[in-house]
Chains A and B, each alone.
Chain A
């Protein structure tokens, strides 16, 4: 989540063929990737899709640093190893489905600025839902700044130490409590500034 701002920076800053492509086309592409993931149940088909996505990833000048993000969801597939009774075919199938999905999403987010994604979504989804999505995404950036300060304060109070579990739990809870209160204060200020800028019940996204 910390890499979110870097992802957004790449989406705005880089100028590859994928960055220049219309957001609408990229969202349709992502839906196609999802369709393949859901319908294709054989390894070569999924492997082919993964190779295509990897080629797009490296030709779109997306930094290799971001690549680790596509591997993160593999953590959650460990349960499937137990669920399947260690069936190698099933495990490989799941791993490829996960990798295709995550690489597709990272490609979309690293090549499209988020206001453009929300603008495209706003044309097909209910405006309240897209607004909630946009404000949540925006709030993550605000909270990440608060979190940085909170982390310093947390370290000064002993941080998280497994030798002192109760104190650590209190520190974690206080950090989240602080984050919630700061967040609520920021949301009240955000609403006031939105009203001052003419917000009534809809956000108008800037188009490219």
Chain B
């Protein structure tokens, strides 16, 4: 749900450009912090986890048009610095297939990496406190998704004035172009109605998001349990308790 499915040309340039700058700065800092010897060794794993995230995003759960991100489980397996690079790569590939615009890659990386990084730290925290794998994974996923969805809503709300400008710019541009509507024929009430309705947007996103957070929380917990049964070493947990 936290993935911004905005096409190119909808968000204001300052917003997506700053998204790219922040993502590149964070990426560069994390890249510096990662040991030079470990990165080439872990790149195939990063590629594989990124590919799993891409595949997860391409399977839609039909009635609510939701797809799992698998960012939290990837964050748990890759660690906080590699998950950032992985989400960057995932967003590039998803953008190539029209899953969000190319210009939105930076913002999407920030929103998705919040999920992965927060998921990693919350999972460690809840594991230490609860000592139970399923609730620790579920809570970590649920909270991480909640935060990243609000980050996405924050991004969408920052571009409100730009969408309004797009809605009300009929006839402007290189060619004069009018649709059937007459210019200046708006009533005051009509103008208010034509404004971008963020409340309506949130009213759609949050209930769907809530279902999605629970669904992804359950799926991630079950995946974690499956991995724990077969390859517990991948989770790097101290005590083996379910």
Contacts and interface: CB of A to CB of B under 8 A. Distances in A.
B9 A97 contact: yes
B119 to A, nearest CB: 15
Contacts of B31: 126, 128
Q: In this complex, which of A37, A144, A147, A188 has the most chain B Cβ atoms within 10 angstroms of its Cβ? A: A37
A135 B225 CA distance: 27
A83 B43 contact: no
A126 to B, nearest CB: 8
Contacts of A73: 7, 97-99
Interface in B71-103: 73, 77, 85-86, 88-90, 92-93, 95-103
B40 A136 contact: no
A62 B80 CA distance: 41
A170 to B, nearest CB: 6
B98 A101 contact: yes
Nearest to B88: A129
Given A38-B13, A129-B85, A187 B226 contact: no
Interface stretch (A8-16, A17-25, A50-58, A193-201): A193-201
Interface string B142-157: 0000000000000000
Nearest to A186: B48
Contacts of B181: 89
B173 interface: yes
B210 interface: no
Contact of A191 (B41, B174, B215): B41
Interface size bracket, B side: 35 or more
Interface in A34-66: 34, 37-45
Contacts of B101: 101
Contacts of A70: 98
B167 interface: yes
Nearest to B222: A173
Interface string A166-180: 000110111011111
Nearest to A70: B98
A186 B58 CA distance: 21
Interface residues of A, number: 76
A159 B88 CA distance: 32
Contacts of A173: 218-219, 221-223, 225-226
B81 to A, nearest CB: 12
B231 interface: yes
A120 interface: no
B65 interface: yes
Nearest to B180: A88
Contact of A40 (B173, B197, B200): B173
Q: In this complex, which of A169, A184, A199 has the most chain B Cβ atoms within 10 angstroms of its Cβ? A: A184
A51 B27 CA distance: 38
A1 B58 contact: yes
Contact of A136 (B10, B89, B103): B89
Interface of B: 5, 7-10, 13, 27, 31, 36, 39-41, 43-52, 54-56, 58, 63, 65, 68, 70, 73, 77, 85-86, 88-90, 92-93, 95-103, 163, 166-167, 169-170, 172-175, 177, 179, 181, 193-197, 200-201, 204-205, 215, 218-219, 221-223, 225-227, 230-231, 234
24 contacts: A1-B54, A40-B173, A45-B175, A72-B98, A76-B5, A76-B100, A77-B7, A101-B98, A128-B31, A135-B47, A136-B47, A136-B51, A136-B54, A139-B48, A169-B218, A173-B222, A176-B68, A176-B70, A177-B222, A178-B226, A180-B73, A181-B226, A190-B44, A191-B44
